[in-house]
Structure 1
Amino acid sequence: MKGCKGHLLATVLLGCASTSWALESIHRLFETEESAPRPFSGVLLVAKGDKLLVSHHANWPENSAFEPIDKTQRFTVGAIARQITAALIMQEVDAGHLSLSHEVEEWLPEYQTHWQAKMPIRQLLSHSDGVFVSDWYQGLEGEVFAYENLGYNLAGDILESVTGKSYQELVDEVLQRCRMQTSTTYALDKPTAQSAKGFMELQPGELVPVLTGIPDDFIASSGVQASAMDLLSWNLCLHRGKLLSKQSYRQMITSSSLQPHRWGTLGHGFGVQISDQPVREYSQSGYVPGFISTLAYYPDFNISLIVLENVSWDPKDTQRAYYYHDKSRQALLAYLTRGAGRSIGQ
């Protein structure tokens, strides 16, 4: 593909010799990039606990608009933000301030005249609220998976009503608790050197900078910026029992609806995609203008996979758009399926 040559690549395989052997198929994704359907621009990490096993970052130096990228730079993570919103809701449940059976109108009385008013918070978090975005049809609540932003945007409003704090304040508190030092809510009007610039593919090979941000009303569903290293901290904070009670965490990772997905049918908890085949996997992906992200955690191995890109590739071809995300996941699953992941990196 034209434009692949000349990338600034930095791939590090860390750990013992068996680790390098086990993960070399991920490394080969970047060695054979000339045969890939499109180039890579972003960060990919594989870690066991907080120990990095694979660290890769790349960008295009021949394009002056692309600045150096590394694992500490912030990317807009799209739907991964929903894990943070769901965890904030569950913290209020743990504190006794909120119940998942509470209806929207109990905390947002202005919705009393809307059909959403009787919707319980549980269904907002599981995307089982019966909303079909294509025609705004209200389906069978609690029975149909409908992936949309409305539920989590309402959850953000409910959090503000319950706590008396802004969503941004609440996010900052949980980020600090999880030691996510560089993450923040999205603010395009306040760019810093830590924020990767996003680009959108208009047609194959034609990229333009993204100059508009996530609307304020969508922050709770899509508007968090995080670095790859901070998302690693998030995985360990959420999944290793540092953030929620055991009961609340269990509810987050319990499937309450089924989600059609390019990986196959997945269970869906609260901001978490759930799969038991071939190994247990908790994941989420994000796609917003300028950025694509994938975050996965394998609890039986304490292994994380993080892929962040600062180009939103044409979504009409999902296999191409998510090429590196899906190929690295497939390579990691192939290894973990053999059971060897429990000793990896030790």
Structure 2
Amino acid sequence: MKNEAKPMTKYLLLFLLIFLFNPFQVANAQNLESKIDSLILAEFKDRNGPGAVFMVAQNGKIVYQKAFGKANLELELDLSPENIFQLGSMTKQFTAVAVLMLEEQGKLNTGDPISKYIPDYPLGDKITIHHLLTHTSGIKDFTKMKSLSTIAQKEMTPKMMVDFFKDEKADFLPGEKFEYNNSGYVLLGYLIELVSGGSYEDFIQQQIFQKIGMNQSSYASDRKVIHKRAYGYHKKETGYVNKTVISFSIPFSSGSLMSTTTDLLKWQNALNQHRLLSTKNTNKAFQKYRLNNGEAFDYGYGWHIKSIHGTPSREHGGSIFGFKTMGVYLPSKDIYVVGFSNCDCQSPTQIARDIASAALQYLTNKKN
């Protein structure tokens, strides 16, 4: 019996080797990597200029992660996947989830009018937290105000920021239109502070980042020494220049967080595993909503709800002086793509969508 077992063991090992190292599968994986490389290098061609970091994950694990270009032009430091970037409007995901966490704690309701928390806010009895989350409030977006330059480098409290735009004439009545709005998310950050009794920064740091191990993520700062920071750039006719300095108290809860691609995977996995929110409240973030006239629009709470080749996607980008970012998640395939650029002259948005499309095609071929 022992002599018969040895040949069987050999055949089994041979079968496993053939299965695990199937040339077709290996070639497919190599083709996907080459395809992703070519998509990125078509846009990020200057190896001596600012660049990008891209990550692709499937089933919660990284399958592709590379950096291109420089993290710091003056010191000629190459970018690496560990570099920390400013997220810009990808911050809105964290703000929206923080609001839903407070709702689960019974401290607010997304149907509440904002007058419940800010009694003197114009139209505050008609504007709800839901309107702020979905960009349907109609309040003036402070980034479109000419007077923004007068405060761009000042340290503003959340109340000062709200007072800066609250008396501006509304663009439309609540629920009449979808129009992307940074003021709404600044208001949400202020509400988080009023309801939680602490600062927005502390809430995000303690209730989200620390809870799920996002150890390289924080509220942004140009003054703190931040290990592995990627420096941001603009491009002028004469070449690259350092990014314009602003006070991060201006974008606040609409765009002032910073992170890494690896930390964002921890974020996506935590959402999938309901470590921060119940299934019910998680679903509230990822569904489409309707205007007053019944028309649906493609935004949930902090995410655009779209599709890629008919496959549902959750997406959001970000843009802040010196940086552009993009995240695309395909829930049915558990594919997550993140792209960061440290020059606001180059956007990872379409590349991230194209990479998600390539990953979809690779999975389809793999099944066939």
Instruction: Indicate the larger mover: 237-246 or 284-293.
Output: 237-246
Paired residue for 1:53, among 52, 63, 67?
Answer: 63
Instruction: Indicate the larger mover: 236-245 or 294-303.
Output: 236-245
**Residue in structure 2 matched with residue 129 of structure 1 by the alignment:** 137
1:27, CA displacement in angstroms?
Answer: 1.6
Aligned partner of residue 154 in structure 1, secondary structure: helix
1:68, CA displacement in angstroms?
Answer: 2.9
Aligned partner of residue 138 in structure 1, secondary structure: coil
1:33, CA displacement in angstroms?
Answer: 6.1
**Residue in structure 2 matched with residue 159 of structure 1 by the alignment:** 192
Give the 3 Å change call, closer, same or farther, for CA 120–342 of structure 1 in structure 2.
farther
Query: Does 2:68 correspond to 1:42?
Result: no
Within a 5 Å distance, the mapping from 1:102-117 to structure 2 comes to 102-109=112-119, 112-116=120-124
**Residue in structure 2 matched with residue 75 of structure 1 by the alignment:** 85
Q: Deviations over 1:66-110 (max 9, x none)?
A: 53321222111011100000000000111111101111121223x
**Contact 2:50 2:233 (C-alpha < 8 Å) held by counterparts:** no
**Residue in structure 2 matched with residue 273 of structure 1 by the alignment:** 304
**Contact 2:303 2:315 (C-alpha < 8 Å) held by counterparts:** yes
Aligned residue type for 1:218: P
Q: 1:341 & 1:171 partners in 2: Cα distance?
A: 40
**Residue in structure 2 matched with residue 316 of structure 1 by the alignment:** none
**Residue in structure 1 matched with residue 360 of structure 2 by the alignment:** 336
Aligned partner of residue 189 in structure 1, secondary structure: coil
Asked which structure has the greater CA Rg, the reply is 2
Query: Does 2:107 correspond to 1:97?
Result: yes
**Residue in structure 1 matched with residue 226 of structure 2 by the alignment:** 192
Give the 3 Å change call, closer, same or farther, for CA 52–140 of structure 1 in structure 2.
same
1:188, CA displacement in angstroms?
Answer: 1.1
Give the 3 Å change call, closer, same or farther, for CA 60–140 of structure 1 in structure 2.
same
**Contact 1:185 1:225 (C-alpha < 8 Å) held by counterparts:** yes
Paired residue for 1:84, among 74, 91, 94?
Answer: 94
**Contact 1:108 1:161 (C-alpha < 8 Å) held by counterparts:** no
Give the 3 Å change call, closer, same or farther, for CA 301–141 of structure 1 in structure 2.
same
Q: 2:69 & 2:244 partners in 1: Cα distance?
A: 19
Q: Deviations over 1:158-195 (max 9, x none)?
A: 01111101111101021111211110001111132322
**Residue in structure 2 matched with residue 206 of structure 1 by the alignment:** 239
Aligned partner of residue 77 in structure 2, secondary structure: coil
Query: Unmatched 5+ residue regions in structure 1?
Result: 1-14, 259-264, 314-320
Q: 1:25 & 1:46 partners in 2: Cα distance?
A: 13
Provide the aligned C-alpha RMSD in A: 2.9
Q: Deviations over 1:244-298 (max 9, x none)?
A: 111111110011259xxxxxx9711111011134211111100010100001111
1:61, CA displacement in angstroms?
Answer: 8.7
**Residue in structure 2 matched with residue 120 of structure 1 by the alignment:** 128
Q: Deviations over 1:195-229 (max 9, x none)?
A: 211111234x6221125144314220000000111
Query: Unmatched 5+ residue regions in structure 2?
Result: 1-24, 146-168
Aligned partner of residue 37 in structure 2, secondary structure: helix
Within a 5 Å distance, the mapping from 1:160-239 to structure 2 comes to 160-173=193-206, 174-203=208-237, 206-239=239-272
Structure with the larger helix share: 2
* Percent identical residues: 21
Q: 1:337 & 1:291 partners in 2: Cα distance?
A: 29
1:142, CA displacement in angstroms?
Answer: 1.1
Instruction: Indicate the larger mover: 66-75 or 132-141.
Output: 132-141
Instruction: Indicate the larger mover: 62-71 or 113-122.
Output: 62-71
Q: Deviations over 1:128-151 (max 9, x none)?
A: 112354575430311311112111
**Residue in structure 2 matched with residue 29 of structure 1 by the alignment:** 39
Give the 3 Å change call, closer, same or farther, for CA 117–268 of structure 1 in structure 2.
same
Aligned residue type for 1:230: D
Q: Deviations over 1:46-83 (max 9, x none)?
A: 11134222111022499425533212221110111000
Give the 3 Å change call, closer, same or farther, for CA 45–19 of structure 1 in structure 2.
same
1:35, CA displacement in angstroms?
Answer: 7.3
Within a 5 Å distance, the mapping from 1:252-331 to structure 2 comes to 252-256=285-289, 267-278=298-309, 279-313=311-345, 321-322=346-347, 324-331=348-355
Give the 3 Å change call, closer, same or farther, for CA 23–116 of structure 1 in structure 2.
farther
**Contact 2:51 2:71 (C-alpha < 8 Å) held by counterparts:** no
Instruction: Indicate the larger mover: 332-341 or 301-310.
Output: 332-341
**Contact 1:80 1:222 (C-alpha < 8 Å) held by counterparts:** yes
| TM, length-normalised to structure 2 | 0.76
1:42, CA displacement in angstroms?
Answer: 2.0
**Residue in structure 2 matched with residue 248 of structure 1 by the alignment:** 281
Q: 1:224 & 1:19 partners in 2: Cα distance?
A: 34
**Contact 1:66 1:197 (C-alpha < 8 Å) held by counterparts:** no
Aligned partner of residue 196 in structure 1, secondary structure: coil
**Contact 2:118 2:124 (C-alpha < 8 Å) held by counterparts:** no
Q: 2:72 & 2:108 partners in 1: Cα distance?
A: 52
